[in-house]
Amino acid sequence: MSLAANTVVALLALIHIYIMVLEMFMWDKPAGLRAFGLPKELATATKVLGANQGLYNGFLAAGMLWGLWLGAEGFGVKVFFLLCVWVAGIFGAATAARKILYIQTVPATVGLVLLFLVRAG
């Protein structure tokens, strides 16, 4: 079960690294335009905002990777950063796009459940 929990955390970290790259470096490129559904003009005008969002997603990824690196002592770190992802997913789904719920909130919920099952067992 610990392997499953850590796998979910690692996958979420990789997703957030990917989101970081999209937002920081590809915001106004074809891949970024497709991912975020933005017209080129709007993406160009908001490129700095996208990069700022990307930086935050990078911090989320770094926190989850830090928790994994700490091993068993990283439980609290993993929980904290999964909760941050969960809240960001709820907010993003409510304000930006419903798909964020499935990209962030659902996997974060699965990760949290698995972590607490491991902790309880």
| Model confidence pTM above 0.85 | yes
pLDDT in tens, 9-45: 999 999 999 999 999 999 999 999 999 999 999 999 9
pLDDT at 1: 66
pLDDT tops 70 at residue 97: yes
CA distance 18 to 47: 17
Choose among 93, 91, 94, 66: nearest CA to 79: 66
- Expressed as residue numbers, the domain containing 36 is 2-120
When divided into structural domains, the chain yields a total of 1
pLDDT of residue 121: 79
Tens-digit pLDDT profile for residues 35-74: 999 999 999 999 999 999 999 999 999 999 999 999 999 9
What DSSP string describes 27-38? TTSHHHHHHHT-
